[in-house]
Structure 1
Amino acid sequence: MTPAAPDTWHAALDRLQRSAVPHVLATQVTSAGSTPREPGARMVITRDSIFDTLGGGTFEWQTISAARDYLQQQRYGFHLEAFSLGGRSGQCCGGFVNILLEVFAGVDAHVAIFGAGHVGREIVNLSAPLPWQRLWFDSRPNIFSDQDQQQPRTSFHKLDDARIQVADLPPNSHVLVLTHSHDEDYALIAALIERDDIASIGLIGSDSKWASFKGRLKRAGYAADTIERVRCPIGRIHDAKLHNKTPYAIALTAVTELLWLADTPPGPDTRGLAPQALQRLLDESSATSS
């Protein structure tokens, strides 16, 4: 485990939110009896680092473990953890604390872009201000320039094995396939449609290219409903054909399409604490002050 970094929790929170790293803000919201710290104490937790402290001890490590479990399970939103400092925590303080865990995804969506040609580069440039984590792939050596390397929330990857690299994509990724090679495009599409947890699959190309790919996929034994998960061409609005074929125009429609596809409303557990958990907090706060 990485030792606690010298950053304060608020400095770490600012940096992690700007860099789109998944993280948890843990806040001590109520306490009763003897506790290591008072309500308002905070720490920030990532998958491999911790920043600041709630006072140490077993209950803090249990808080860290719970936070990382929520990150692993992608259970974003608000969660309440209760600790009796002598029971669950094994500590001798004898007090009681409630810890609020705010689990942040870091990004609104993961977008994988296969291809660093003209359209791929315009897609990355246009989507730079959006809260997306971009994974950018290309098989050609030295294709990513120094300027490319400055793109925010973007990781760069050498495409060398489509099946393995598709298997490593985060669940619920949105994927655009637009390499310089039809063979690479086909290998990627064949690998992508085998994953049922990919949020969307887009392929650049003409109707004739897609007809050819569909025929090959059917002959390879893929089911029709699996094949139809692929959008081709990308960025088609209401089945209208785009007459402006410049890379910028194609990228603009592709990013617009992704905005709709990635605009998933939050689940019910991301909008706040459950009423029962909130009532428990209010009851305990009232009991402590009386």
Structure 2
Amino acid sequence: MEAWLPDLQQLLAHGDAVVLVTVARAEGSAPREAGTKMIVTRESAKHTIGGGHLEWKAIETARQVLKDGMRTPRTRRLERFALGPSLGQCCGGAVVLAFERLDVGDLGWVTSLAKRLAAGQSTVRSVSFGAAPDAVLLSEPEPGVERADCLLWDGPGFEASGALLTETIAPRDFAVMLFGAGHVGAALVRVLATLPCRVRWIDGRDAQFPPPGTLHAANLTIEATDDPNSLIDDATPRTYFIVMTHDHERDFELATRILLRGDYAFLGVIGSHTKRKQFEHRLAARGIDPAQIARMKCPLGVDGIVDKSPEIIAISAAAQILQAVEANAQHGAP
């Protein structure tokens, strides 16, 4: 789920008024892409539209919108910021920011959007601007349109009554299945807790997992099982598999099972170049397609990082996973 959405939902449910700031349009070089969001309250700001003086000005504007909205319901505003010397930023482009004052009356559409994203459904959110703006509208995307998008339709100026922001908000979470609860597995789980993914952490040794309540990762499910093969068979297509158990033979059997599926998004196996050569020979003997074997990332992690401490291996592995996520997105796959 989008990181800003549960925070917004919680604030509105507590009765707070907030301003949702959206990068409605990015022109040229900009710190964040269209659709990026920040939440501003009277006391704080959550998430980021790029930092720097732009963000400071956005927070200042948002708090003025909060103040104005005490008298005018559905207060909204569009403002263009040039990212040049006037803002002390070197990006050189410009952004149009959309400011929307929200309160408990908006909790309905926010909750509906959260439920749709949790169910894996893309949603179009439409926001009108002008003297008497309509309520936020949620609708189904056009058939075949699943990827996130953000478009600002404005007339002769940002104050035009026809100005409309339409954005397709798509689920960004990707599924990770991590086998192995050793030191590297634990370090990787802590990194993945900060990313838009859903993690199933699997090991046959229940005692290897951290005690309940000591690991704060809302996107994590822990599963202790002696039959990991069945979990591989039940995994959703386009899962990102990470294999790093304490047993090389188990690693081999897991990798074999995953490669036989063929519909995975990523397979990473911890180990050395020697381990890869051994696995390649044995996988070929099992009749695994050479094209599938070539997809296996072993050693796990981005090139050029040789430190073998668990935390550094975890960061390197997470970076490689994100490279795969980006590459798959460019090819139209999750």
TM-score using structure 1 length: 0.59
Instruction: Report whether the alignment pairs 1:136 with 2:201.
Output: yes
Task: Map 1:32-181 to 2 at 5 A.
Answer: 40=135, 75-76=146-147, 102=168, 104-107=170-173, 109-144=174-209, 145-147=211-213, 150-181=216-247
Displacement of 1:113: 1.1
Q: Distance in 1 between matches of 2:120 and 2:243?
A: 26
User: C-alpha deviations, 1:102-156, integer Å up to 9, x for none?
Assistant: 563251x222211111101111112222112212111112433214653121222
Task: Map 1:218-229 to 2 at 5 A.
Answer: 218-229=284-295
One-letter identity of the residue aligned with 2:197? W
Contact in 2 for aligned 1:120/1:251 (Cα 8 Å): yes
Pick from 1, 10, 15: which aligns with 2:110? 10
Q: Distance in 2 between matches of 1:262 and 1:119?
A: 21
Displacement of 1:254: 0.8
One-letter identity of the residue aligned with 1:235? G
Size of the aligned set, in residue pairs, is 207
2:72 aligned residue: none
| Structure 2 stretches lacking a partner, 5+ long | 1-12, 14-106, 128-133, 150-165
Q: Alignment identity in percent? A: 26
Q: Distance in 2 between matches of 1:123 and 1:172?
A: 20
Q: Distance in 1 between matches of 2:305 and 2:116?
A: 41
1:212 aligned residue: 278
Displacement of 1:173: 1.6
Contact in 2 for aligned 1:210/1:232 (Cα 8 Å): yes
Higher RCO (CA < 8 A, seq sep 6+):
1
Displacement of 1:24: 4.8
SS in 2 for 1:198: coil
Contact in 2 for aligned 1:25/1:42 (Cα 8 Å): no
TM-score using structure 2 length: 0.52
One-letter identity of the residue aligned with 1:201? L
Instruction: Report whether the alignment pairs 1:251 with 2:314.
Output: yes
Displacement of 1:42: 5.0
Q: 1:203 to 1:110 in 2, by over 3 A?
A: same
SS in 2 for 1:228: helix
Pick from 325, 329, 332: which aligns with 1:262? 325
Aligned-residue Cα RMSD (Å) equals 3.7
Contact in 2 for aligned 1:162/1:191 (Cα 8 Å): no
One-letter identity of the residue aligned with 2:291? D
